[in-house]
Amino acid sequence: MNPKRLKDLQELQDLLGAQLRQQDLLNQSLTHTSYVGEGSESRLASNQRLEFLGDSVLGLVISNYLFDRHPELSEGQMTKIKAAAVSEPILCQLAQKLNLGNYILLGRGEETTGGRQRPSILSDTFEAVVAALYLDVGFEATRGFLISQFAGAIEDIKDQRHGQDYKSLLQEKVQEKTGKAPLYQVVQEIGPDHDKRFVVEVCLEERVLGRGYGSSKKEAEQAAASEALNALNSQPQE
């Protein structure tokens, strides 16, 4: 592995708050299938198997968190909250906070078509990195990392109830404060027609309040409104 790649992996480990012994394992977790066989590292395996394992680790951690922290929730309620927490939009947001897109190894085709920002690639890579952490530093350290990443989102989902109309909530909040309505615009379309992803920004005049991703414009608008609500709710009260 060349020195630049090792430096990149160290930067990512600093963001993760964990130092892995197996740098090759972390590198594999960041290797998209499109990259395999293209470069000098032709023996490098893709992250698909790690993604499979990471999905299971993530599901166990979130299920355990809900079971321990919220004894008042029924099985059905926990199932819905867990499904929302591990959905592509949430995983994509967490991957973006870690700048995972900067570290993914992509093939030339994916690189030129915006693969580093594609929600499906980012969310899958996040799961693969979770598996790398689990295999290297163990379950407890991985659980601590995941709780730090997901706890806020899980509590928001629980309090706001999965499936709530975030667009309506945002409009009420913004109109109450400013008397104006937020506007939504599609700023990017990613992927082929059969697997299209939309990127939507919600704005108030020229100020961007939030950005969302989804497999439909409606889903992306809801994700953008959710992000905007979280940002507004975290602002200090006047």
State which of 91-95, 111-115, 143-147, 166-170 shows the largest mean pLDDT.
143-147
Confidence (pTM) = 0.69
Give the mean model confidence (pLDDT) for residues 187-209: 88
Q: Give, as one character, the DSSP assignment of residue 121.
A: H
pLDDT confidence band for 42 (50 / 70 / 90): low
Question: Does 24 participate in catalysis according to the annotation?
Answer: no
- Can you identify the CATH homologous superfamily of domain 3-160? Ribonuclease III domain (1.10.1520.10)
Nearest CA to 98 among 56, 150, 33? 150
From 55, 88, 110, 201, the catalytic residue: 55
pLDDT tens by residue, 212-236? 888 888 888 988 888 888 787 766 5
One-character DSSP codes across 122-179: HHHHHHHHHHHHHHHH-HHHHHHHHHHHHHHHHHHHHHH-TT--HHHHHHHHHHHHHS
Residue 238 has pLDDT above 50, yes or no: no
Give the mean model confidence (pLDDT) for residues 54-80: 92
Question: Does 201 participate in catalysis according to the annotation?
Answer: no
What residues does each domain of the chain span?
3-160, 166-233
Residue type present at position 151: A
* CATH no. for 166-233: 3.30.160.20
From 88, 110, 124, 127, the catalytic residue: 127
pLDDT tens by residue, 92-141? 889 988 999 999 999 988 888 888 888 889 999 999 999 999 999 999 99
To the nearest whole percent, how much of the chain has pLDDT over 90?
46
Q: What is the pLDDT of residue 37?
A: 67
